[in-house]
C-alpha cells in the first residue's frame, strides 16, 4: 500500500462565467487522517471537492506524493481519488449489489494485478459483499436502488465509494440523510478505514459537533477562501464562527477532548451566511 500525503497549493477553479476559488492553499493531508471541510452554503465546498476529484477544470497544484494530479485524465485521476456526491442518480434499474459491483468494475484498472474470469468475478463479489457488510446494508443487497429510502441510498453511495479502495476519499455531506445511529456508524467506519488503509478522507459536513469529534483537521471556507485551518479546537472558535457563519456562539472544551458548540443568535447586521459582501 502506498502512503502518500496530499498537498493542495495555488488551486483556482470555478465555472464558465465565474471564478469560485482563487489560488487556495491548504495544510498537508496525511495518510490515515480524516478532515472536515466546513463553511456556509455556497462557500465553494462542493466546488473544491469536485476540483480535487478532477471533475472540473482547475489550475494550480494538487499533489499526491510526488504525482501531480492536475492535468491527469479523468480515469487516471479516478484511480487515486474517489468522490462521493451528495446524491445517487435516480432511475437506475440495478440492485444494490450490482451497483457496488459496477463501481468496483469501473475502477478495475486500479488493480492491475487482479485476476479476470470466474476467479476475478468471485473476488469482486466477496469484496462487494464485505463492504456492504461493513456499511451495514448487506440485508439490502438484492433490493432495487429505486426502492430505497434517502438514507439507504446515501449508504449505498458510500459503499460504492469505499469498495474502490481509493487513496483519497472525498465525501460530500455523507451523513446528511442519516439518522443519529447511522451518522455515528458512518463516521466511525470512515475513520477505521482511513487508519486501516492509510486512506485520506476529506468530507464536507454541516454538523460542526460531528466534524469536531471525528476529524484530525478542519478547513473552514467562506466565499471560496480559507478562513481557518488546524485541529478542531484551533479552527472552530467563537471568532471564526462569527466571521464565517455570522452567528454568536460559544465553544466549550469537554473533558473527553471534544467540543461543545452552542449557537446563541445571528449577529446583528449579519448577511445570510454565504451571501457575497
Ligand atoms: N454548475 C454550476 N455552474 C455555475 N455556478 C455554480 C455551479 N455549481 C455551483 N455554482 C456556484 O458556485 C458557488 C459555490 O457552490 P458550491 O456548491 O461549491 O457551494 P457549497 O459550499 O458546497 O454549498 P452548500 O453547502 O450549499 O452545498 C455558488 O455560488 C454556486 O451558485
Is the pLDDT reported for residue 184 higher than 90? yes
Q: What is the pLDDT of residue 19?
A: 95
Q: Based on the fold, state whether residues 69 and 198 are members of the same structural domain.
A: yes
Q: What is the pLDDT of residue 94?
A: 93
Mean pLDDT of 241-270: 89
| Mean confidence (pLDDT) of the chain | 91
Name, of 61-65, 71-75, 84-88, the range with top average pLDDT: 61-65
| Atom of ligand 1 minimally distant from the CA of 43 | 21
Q: Based on the fold, state whether residues 137 and 6 are members of the same structural domain.
A: no
Q: What is the pLDDT of residue 87?
A: 78
Summarised one tens digit per residue, pLDDT across range 189-202 is 999 999 999 999 99
151 domain residue, yes or no? yes
Which residue's CA is the closest to the ligand 1 atom numbered 25?
41
Q: Based on the fold, state whether residues 173 and 76 are members of the same structural domain.
A: yes
Q: Based on the fold, state whether residues 115 and 153 are members of the same structural domain.
A: yes
Is the pLDDT reported for residue 113 higher than 50? no
Q: Based on the fold, state whether residues 54 and 21 are members of the same structural domain.
A: yes
Task: Give residue 1's pLDDT band: very low, low, confident or very high (50, 70, 90).
Answer: low
Q: Based on the fold, state whether residues 49 and 111 are members of the same structural domain.
A: no
95 domain residue, yes or no? yes
User: For a substitution probing ligand 1, which of 36, 44, 177, 205 has the most ligand atoms within 8 Å of its CB?
Assistant: 44
Q: Based on the fold, state whether residues 75 and 3 are members of the same structural domain.
A: yes
The domain that holds 196 is classified in CATH as 3.40.50.300
Provide the residue count of the chain: 277
139 domain residue, yes or no? yes
Is the pLDDT reported for residue 9 higher than 90? yes
Task: Give residue 122's pLDDT band: very low, low, confident or very high (50, 70, 90).
Answer: confident
User: For a substitution probing ligand 1, which of 17, 21, 45 has the most ligand atoms within 8 Å of its CB?
Assistant: 45
Ligand 1 neighbour 42 (Cβ under 6 A): yes
| Cell 436502488, residue located | 145
Do the Cβ atoms of 29 and 217 come closer than 8 Å?
Answer: yes
Do the Cβ atoms of 228 and 235 come closer than 8 Å?
Answer: yes
Mean pLDDT of 29-41: 97
Ligand 1 neighbour 43 (Cβ under 6 A): yes
276 domain residue, yes or no? no
113 domain residue, yes or no? yes
Q: Using a pLDDT cut of 90, give the percent of the chain over it.
A: 81
Ligand 1 neighbour 20 (Cβ under 6 A): yes
Q: Based on the fold, state whether residues 31 and 74 are members of the same structural domain.
A: yes
Q: Based on the fold, state whether residues 14 and 39 are members of the same structural domain.
A: yes
Predicted TM-score (pTM) of this structure: 0.93
Q: What is the pLDDT of residue 148?
A: 94
118 domain residue, yes or no? yes
Largest pairwise CA distance in the chain: 66
ipTM value of the model?
0.98
101: left (phi over 0), alpha (psi -120 to 50) or beta: alpha
Residue numbers of the domain that contains 107: 91-162
Q: What is the pLDDT of residue 275?
A: 65
Which residue's CA is the closest to the ligand 1 atom numbered 5?
15
Q: What is the pLDDT of residue 116?
A: 64
Q: Based on the fold, state whether residues 176 and 59 are members of the same structural domain.
A: yes
Residues sharing a CB contact under 8 Å with residue 156, sequence separation 6 or more, in sequence order: 88, 96, 99, 100, 137, 140, 145, 148
Q: Based on the fold, state whether residues 127 and 183 are members of the same structural domain.
A: no
Count of structural domains within the chain? 2
Last residue of one domain, picked from the residues 144, 162, 180: 162
CB atoms inside a 10 Å sphere around CB 217: 22
Ligand 1 neighbour 85 (Cβ under 6 A): no
37 domain residue, yes or no? yes
Q: Based on the fold, state whether residues 24 and 50 are members of the same structural domain.
A: yes
Last residue of one domain, picked from the residues 162, 193, 213: 162
Is the pLDDT reported for residue 276 higher than 70? no
| Atom of ligand 1 minimally distant from the CA of 224 | 14
Is the pLDDT reported for residue 117 higher than 80? no
| Atom of ligand 1 minimally distant from the CA of 40 | 25
30 domain residue, yes or no? yes
Mean pLDDT of 152-175: 96
Which residue's CA is the closest to the ligand 1 atom numbered 29?
42
Task: Give residue 244's pLDDT band: very low, low, confident or very high (50, 70, 90).
Answer: very high
* Burial environment of residue 162 by CB neighbours within 10 A (0 to 12, 13 to 18, 19 or more): buried
| Atom of ligand 1 minimally distant from the CA of 86 | 27
Q: What is the pLDDT of residue 89?
A: 74
Which residue's CA is the closest to the ligand 1 atom numbered 6?
15
Amino acid at each position: 500500500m502506498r502512503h502518500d500525503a496530499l498537498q493542495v497549493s495555488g488551486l483556482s477553479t470555478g465555472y464558465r462565467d465565474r471564478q469560485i476559488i482563487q489560488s487556495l492553499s491548504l495544510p498537508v493531508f496525511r495518510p490515515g487522517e480524516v478532515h472536515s471541510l466546513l463553511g456556509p452554503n455556497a462557500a465553494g465546498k462542493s466546488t473544491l471537492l469536485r476540483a480535487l476529484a478532477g471533475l472540473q477544470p482547475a489550475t494550480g497544484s494538487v499533489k499526491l506524493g510526488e504525482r501531480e494530479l492536475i492535468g491527469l485524465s479523468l480515469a487516471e485521476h479516478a484511480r487515486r481519488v474517489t468522490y462521493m456526491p451528495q446524491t445517487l442518480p435516480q432511475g437506475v434499474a440495478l440492485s444494490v449489489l450490482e451497483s457496488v459491483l459496477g463501481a468496483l468494475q469501473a475502477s478495475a484498472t486500479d488493480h492491475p494485478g487482479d485476476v479476470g474470469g470466474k476467479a476475478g468475478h468471485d473476488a469482486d463479489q466477496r469484496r462487494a459483499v464485505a463492504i456492504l457488510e461493513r456499511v451495514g446494508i448487506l440485508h439490502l443487497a438484492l433490493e432495487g436502488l429505486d426502492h430505497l429510502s434517502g438514507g439507504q441510498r446515501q449508504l449505498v453511495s458510500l459503499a460504492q465509494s469505499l469498495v474502490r479502495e481509493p487513496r483519497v476519499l472525498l465525501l460530500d455531506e455523507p451523513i446528511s440523510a442519516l439518522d443519529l445511529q447511522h451518522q455515528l456508524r458512518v463516521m466511525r467506519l470512515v475513520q477505521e478505514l482511513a487508519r486501516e488503509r492509510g486512506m485520506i478522507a476529506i468530507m464536507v459536513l454541516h454538523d460542526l459537533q460531528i466534524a469536531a469529534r471525528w476529524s484530525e483537521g478542519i478547513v473552514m471556507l467562506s466565499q471560496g477562501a480559507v478562513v481557518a485551518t488546524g485541529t478542531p479546537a484551533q479552527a472552530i472558535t467563537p471568532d471564526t464562527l462569527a466571521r464565517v457563519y455570522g452567528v454568536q456562539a460559544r465553544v466549550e472544551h469537554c473533558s473527553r477532548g471534544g467540543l461543545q458548540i452552542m449557537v446563541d443568535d445571528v449577529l446583528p447586521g449579519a448577511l445570510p451566511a454565504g451571501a457575497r459582501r
